[in-house]
With several copies, the nearest count.
Chain A
Amino acid sequence: MSMEEDLPGTGDQKKFLYVNRRAPYGTIYALESLEVVLIGAAFDQDVSLAFFDDGVYQIVKDQDTSGIGMKNFSPTYRALGDYEVTRLYVEKESLEERGLTPDDLMEITYEDEDDDWAEKPSVRLVSRAELSEVMAEQDVILSF
């Protein structure tokens, strides 16, 4: 089977989705997933991130890890735009179950090169059903 048959219509790119379902700090999965995303950004693929279940906790604002002796890696999410990672899907139902609103999340933005470098929000609030659609469109799903 040749590669082309499996690829979507975007030339050589594959659609990569990084699924984030776990809270930060209690385990390393959030951090090491982010490290994959940063390295992966160099490969010119079509990249999205999904945050749902406890994964929404990863991008909550005002994280302060000074008391637990661990590095606060949350600022890195705000730098994703510089790596041309611009689509962060966040599930509404997961926020609601946790008593969170979009205002509790960090502001994560990117500069849209197709729109005169206008600053735009990277976070896209989606319903559970919409998130399912996003997952169904992917070529590779990496979940840590």
Chain B
Amino acid sequence: MLHTVNKSPFEKSTFESCLNHARPGDAVLLIEDGVYGAVKGTAVSGQVAKFNGDLKLYALGPDLAARGIKDASLMEGVSVVDYGGFVDLVAKHDVSQAWL
């Protein structure tokens, strides 16, 4: 399954709920304000790292760039995709769940 998360983990509990409900092997794509959850060295990154490996984490490049987040700031294991990559992720997984 592909999960998409578009909210900052500092503002909303959406990302946390997604991580707690996703199953090993699932993919999580961070978009819009959700990309802040992909940054290392934050108050939530330790929590996120626990799921890293069991889950495959992606972040949308155009949303990272808009927010001034450099690739070097990302947690290990996070893959950056563009909108085309987003489309490919949706196609690759049977079901997409948007965590709104």
Contacts and interface: CB of A to CB of B under 8 A. Distances in A.
Q: State yes or no: do A and B touch (Cβ within 8 Å).
A: yes
Interface of A: 6, 19, 21-27, 29, 52-54, 57, 60-68, 70, 72, 96-99, 104, 128, 131-133, 135-136, 138-141, 143-144
B65 A66 contact: yes
Interface residues of B, number: 38
Interface of B: 1, 6-8, 10-11, 13, 17, 20-23, 32-33, 36, 39-43, 45, 61-63, 65-68, 70, 73, 82, 94-100
B21 to A, nearest CB: 5
Nearest to A137: B95
Given A25-B67, A136-B23, A53 B10 contact: yes
B17 A53 contact: yes
A144 B97 CA distance: 11
A136 B65 contact: no
A138 B96 CA distance: 10
Contacts, number: 104
Which among A19, A99, A104 has the greatest number of chain B C-beta atoms within 10 A? Answer: A99
B45 A25 contact: no
Given A99-B73, A139-B95, A26 B33 contact: yes
Contacts of B17: 21, 52-53
A25 B34 CA distance: 11
B97 A68 contact: no
Contacts of A66: 65
A141 B22 contact: no
